[in-house]
């Protein structure tokens, strides 16, 4: 019986081993997970900024509407709803108007917008001062 020994030749091997391929795929997957997490965080931040800008716009409109009225006739009201606010920020969105005396003919007006973003309660407030006779009284002087 003759035995034949098979040995590796002296030529260099081409290609990658299975371990090298698995490690490369693992590194790529970890890098992609990091990228996806950053994109998700950026999308969440963008949505939060958008909601805050919309709430700010609504509060500005309500504040200007209040300043245009005779301020002495305004009173504090809470838990107000508005279709546009609900469309922008969801059904949980509410706004409050707070009117308080600051001086003999001066009142402080604050508009606060509240909404729920997922599990977090969000809120922005804008304040101004107004003459009790309203903005029209300024031109009458």
Q: Give residue-wise pLDDT tens across range 78-121.
A: 999 999 999 999 999 999 999 999 888 888 999 999 999 888 99
Q: What percent of the chain has pLDDT over 70?
A: 85
Concatenating the DSSP letter of every residue in the chain gives ---------SSPP-S--HHHHHHHHHHHHHHHHHHHHHHHHHHHHHHHHHHHHHHHHHHHHHHHHHHHS-GGG---EEEE--HHHHHHH-TT-EEEEEEEE-SSSEEEEEEEEEEEETTEEEEEEEEEEEETT-THHHHT-
Mean pLDDT of 36-43: 86
Tell me the domain boundaries of the chain: 18-139
- 0.85 exceeded by pTM: no
């Amino acid at each position: 019986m003759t035995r034949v020994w098979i040995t590796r030749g002296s030529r260099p091997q081409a290609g990658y081993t299975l371990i090298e391929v698995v490690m490369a795929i693992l590194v790529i997957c970890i890098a992609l997970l990091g990228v996806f997490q950053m994109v998700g965080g950026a999308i969440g931040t963008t949505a939060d900024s958008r909601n805050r800008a919309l709430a700010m716009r609504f509060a500005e409109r309500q504040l200007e509407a209040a300043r245009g009225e005779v301020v002495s006739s305004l009173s504090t009201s809470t838990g107000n709803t508005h279709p546009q606010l609900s469309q922008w920020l969801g059904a949980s969105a509410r706004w409050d108007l707070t009117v308080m005396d600051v001086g003999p003919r001066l009142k402080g007006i604050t508009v606060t917008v509240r909404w729920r973003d997922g599990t977090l309660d969000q809120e922005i407030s804008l304040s101004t001062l107004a003459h009790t006779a309203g903005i029209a009284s300024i031109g009458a002087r």
